[in-house]
Amino acid sequence: MFLGTSAGVPTRDRSLSSMALIWKGEVILFDAGEGTQHNMLKAGISPMKVTKVFITHLHGDHILGLPGLIMTMDLLGREEPLMVYGPKGLNAFLSCLLPTIYEDSVDFRVESAEIAERGLVVEEKDYRVFAARSLHSVEAWAFKFEEKDRPGKFNEAAAKRLGVPPGPLRTALTRGTPVTVRGRTIEPRDVVGPPRPGFKMVYTGDTAFSEEIVELSRGVDLLVHEATFESSKADSARKVMHSVSRDAAKVASMAGVKQLILTHVSARYQDVNTILKEAKEEFNGVKVAKDLMELEIE
Amino acid sequence: MFLGTSAGVPTRDRSLSSMALIWKGEVILFDAGEGTQHNMLKAGISPMKVTKVFITHLHGDHILGLPGLIMTMDLLGREEPLMVYGPKGLNAFLSCLLPTIYEDSVDFRVESAEIAERGLVVEEKDYRVFAARSLHSVEAWAFKFEEKDRPGKFNEAAAKRLGVPPGPLRTALTRGTPVTVRGRTIEPRDVVGPPRPGFKMVYTGDTAFSEEIVELSRGVDLLVHEATFESSKADSARKVMHSVSRDAAKVASMAGVKQLILTHVSARYQDVNTILKEAKEEFNGVKVAKDLMELEIE
């Protein structure tokens, strides 16, 4: 769910950078620009379900919605801790800001972690989040959300044929342990299909074209890449370390992703047709995000 | 123009506290909760025209829209200085926050002044702004905007009758200086009507019922008073140092104001009929503010 898709300043239609990944009842935010909580309300996403916030960089349009969101969580009586991950300076942002607005003693734990190096940031039971460097004017990180591969399908018919009874033997096989039935060794692959690949997504935040993001995005299902400008602005985009739509499409194409969504569109473009058209020339499976646009994860 | 009329947390219809006074092309903001710049966009108010921001207190729902507004002004190329007035802690808020979002070197001056005592805060050519203490859980100020009395109407017919020719003599009279025409002294009051009272408005921010606000509001044209709760919640309102609708109406009635607008309505009330009805029982000229509601100043 895209909560804000503008760049730098809001427009009437586009609020500031934020995206929510709704993952089995847990809400994971990527960036939290001013107005994030307003668009969460419109989208019907409860602040209480947000477990983690990943901040790509500390420019105001990516972070200034975080304090208000924390304040709202506090007013709503939240007790569960909130984890915030981001670049160097994140701890200072929170520790200097919250006391000045009398939120230094919120009734739940706000834990922030500054990312020190590329690689694994979070590991949960069924997913991991990785960070890689973006190419921006200040320290900035792109994030990859990676669902762990799910076990293969259990082949009921094969198990029956091989005489494996329901119960602990089948459980062992699904967990990858060979078992012996009537003196014969049965391998997991005899009754369990190949592991099914999990959902994988990259969210770039602000960045110029970056090989490192191509690497991070290799084969993902969804690449959410910034495309601040039309391609005619390539020179000025490079100067301010942003992407034009063709940069984003090139990353998608080189990385072989399944789907590309462009976001962080400059407020100057009320009409995004050119941005979309230029990207399509490089990569067909592309859309331009709108506020409150929703994608289903298969 | 009301830019945000909710209390604490936003709702689908009400954003966080902010009001814009559009004064001869100058825009003066009272409070700047998160989303202020979003509603300015909807209202067609340019951030470049804001000259002064008065912050009643540093609770997040009254201040968290300020950094984003400053950032937007900077991105739009503002050069004119911005003055921000508010309670103790305001300077720390800005000086700790702006550097962490890389806005420590904005291309215009942001000057902030912490109010030390009640009384005159700003004097301009045609208006003054005064502060008085609100009764809230943290240091909080109510503000009075007071247009200076305008000179009385010049009585063309009387001047002609008394033989005062157009030119410097008439100018002197309108400035309050007696003149002599054909040996006869003419007093200003002979040709100039009584001064016309300027527009006067009080904006309370968050407060419980307060005698000091009654004093501040004596005879004003417009009182914008918070009314967080219905009157049945008087006890809990007092505990958190907010007003119920009857408190606000009582202030309006005691101070003899012309018009009362209630704002800062708790998110629990989707229907404000009770709040309005209870206030009307004490003071007839009352409305409940809505986001983007506009009042004409006569």
Q: Kindly list the domain boundaries of chain B, sorted by start residue.
A: 2-150+197-288, 156-188
What are the backbone dihedrals phi and psi of residue B30, each rounded to the nearest 5 degrees, phi first? -110, 115
Cβ contacts of B55 within 8 Å, gap of 6 or more? B31, B32, B62, B63, B66, B84, B85, B86, B87, B90
Rg (CA), chain B: 22
pLDDT of residue A182: 85
Please state whether the predicted TM-score (pTM) of the whole model is above 0.80.
Answer: yes
Catalytic residues of A: 61
Residue A283 distance to chain B (closest CA, Å)? 32
Q: In the predicted model, what is the mean pLDDT of residues A262-266?
A: 93
**How many residues are given for chain B?**
298
Residue A6: in which H helix or E strand, if any? strand A6-7
Kindly report the CA angle at B200 between B199 and B206, in degrees rounded to 5? 145
Sign for the pseudo-dihedral over CA of A19, A22, A25, A26? negative
Residue B4: closest CA among chain A residues belongs to which residue? A38
Residue A35: closest CA among chain B residues belongs to which residue? B35
CA distances, A206 to each of A217, B272, B282 (Å): 15, 43, 55
Residue A175 distance to chain B (closest CA, Å)? 47
Residues of B in contact with A12 (CB under 8 A): 41-42
What are the backbone dihedrals phi and psi of residue B235, each rounded to the nearest 5 degrees, phi first? -65, -50
Catalytic pick among B61, B206, B247, B291: B61
Q: Residues A170-221: pLDDT tens digits?
A: 999 888 899 998 888 999 998 998 888 999 999 999 999 999 999 999 999 9
Q: Residues B68-127: pLDDT tens digits?
A: 999 999 999 999 999 999 999 999 999 888 888 777 678 899 999 999 999 999 999 999
Least CB-CB distance to B96: which of A42, A65, A100? A100
CA distances, A13 to each of A35, A265, B19 (Å): 12, 11, 22
Write the CATH number of the domain with boundaries A2-150+197-288: 3.60.15.10
Residue B58: closest CA among chain A residues belongs to which residue? A101
Residue A142 distance to chain B (closest CA, Å)? 18
Among all chains, which residue has been given the structure tokens 């000025």?
Answer: A236
From CA B8, how far away is CA A76, in angstroms rounded? 10
Kindly report the CA angle at A27 between A76 and B102, in degrees rounded to 5? 85
Residues of B in contact with A58 (CB under 8 A): 100-102
List of chain B residues with pLDDT < 70:
104
Residues of A in contact with B93 (CB under 8 A): 97, 100-101
